[in-house]
Amino acid sequence: MSVEHQLKAGIAALGLSLPAGAEAKLLAYLALLDKWNRVYNLTAVRDAERMVSHHLLDSLAAVPYFQGETVLDVGSGGGLPGIPLAIARPELRVTLIDSIAKKTAFLLQAKAELGLSNLAVVTGRVEDYKPESGFDVITSRAFSDLKEFVSLTRHLLNPGGRWFAMKGLYPDEEIATLPLDVKVSADHALAVPGLEASRHLIVLETVR
């Protein structure tokens, strides 16, 4: 199956309705990621077909749960889940942050080539990041354990905001170490087309 058919079938299986031109942008992003990956080692997944399931569809599976207006993708790396999210939900303002300049160089190139006006890219450590305003949702896909994720980004979360952590198996041990004022408010088991592995979207919020 071609990557085009694989992506189309996966989007249909997820029940997503994407804006006009989104599939073409997702494929253009995939081609860009594949090209840069050969030089910059942005992702361990080398095969384009596996990239569709492991990266694009894995990120898109979480899209329906995102609410609010602003999202921060921490340790974005090759732009996951932030770039698929920005493509699928153009009304969201998505900021990608990574401390490694070669990765943010790629992210800036992707923003320019894909024409993503709702995307911002920041080079730096998240604990040092001090924007003018906070975020409704802070997400990460492979950044750190939950305790560190919360502690390094807490200053960036808007009142009433939530953390969205994309995980594999349900992280019981990590949840047990969360600060007392942070609770799991939802756990969404994600069924990712073409991916046999267990995937969970863990939603955290502060206890008010």
Q: Is 126 annotated as a binding residue?
A: yes
SS3 23: helix
* Six-digit token string for 73: 């993708």
**Residue position matching structure tokens 């921490």:** 74
Q: Residue for token digits 């992280």? A: 171
Q: Is 69 among the annotated ligand-binding positions?
A: no
Q: What is the dihedral of CA 38, 100, 109, 119, to 10 degrees?
A: 130
* CA separation, residue 206 to residues 6, 74, 150, 160, 174 (Å): 39, 18, 10, 8, 16
141 has binding-site annotation: yes
16 is in an annotated binding site: no
Per the annotation, where are the binding residues for S-adenosyl-L-methionine?
75, 80, 126-127, 141
Per the annotation, where are the binding residues?
75, 80, 126-127, 141
